[in-house]
Amino acid sequence: MAKRIRTFIALQLTPNIRQRLVAWQDKLAAAIPEVKWVEPENLHVTLLFLGEVPDREVAEVCQRVEEAVAEVAPFSVMVEGLGCFPEPRRPRVLWAGITTGSEQLQQVHALIEKPLHYLGFRREERRYVPHITLGRLKADREVPRLPELLREYRSCRGGEMLASEICIMASQLERSGPIYTVMGRARFRGEPTPAEHGETDTSDEAEDFLDAGDEPLMD
């Protein structure tokens, strides 16, 4: 019987952006109890979740994804703002948003979804919204301070990076939490325009944000 691998496709984050998001998690944890926070090494932008994939099909999945994005040019991605699913009154998931680069990520999602649908993977029924899951609430309950926090973090920046590849990931579920492993990489080989060469990591902003007592960075 073929081994099956829990598989998803993701954009990996830079270490500096992960560091800033951990700082967000620490500050939010003081205001919102009983949240299962995502481990720093597991923070990412999911592009497509495939579910359980037979191991003999992984190589073809990697090839189809690589072919689908080969002509995509590298582009800037800005992590900015805080949101929640499904709605602020009774949130289940807290996430960091994507502003710059959101449209390109939606395009990449569409590019990889079509060929993988031909392989037998189902299409997403919900509209794809690029985001980074920060934590999941352990119970369905109201969070009185959440509307205030959403306003406070609306323009808070987690940093900017250059997206130049996506990864095909394996997820192994353990009692302590999931363990993610890169099974393949699909690089963006298109020619970027000069505007797409923007800043790749705003380290000075990160240091300002991480200083104790500082307000979140605003535009």
CA atoms within 13 A on the CB side of 41: 7
Q: Which residue out of 109, 117, 131, 197 is catalytically annotated?
A: 131
Radius of gyration of the chain (CA): 18
- φ and ψ of 207, to 5 deg: -65, -40
Q: Which residue out of 44, 109, 117, 197 is catalytically annotated?
A: 44
117 catalytic residue (yes or no): no
Could you give the 3-state DSSP secondary structure of residue 156?
A: coil
131 catalytic residue (yes or no): yes
Q: Which residues of 35-59 are buried (b: 16+ CB within 10 A; e: fewer)?
A: bebbeeebbbbbbbebeebeeebbe
Residues with catalytic roles:
44, 131
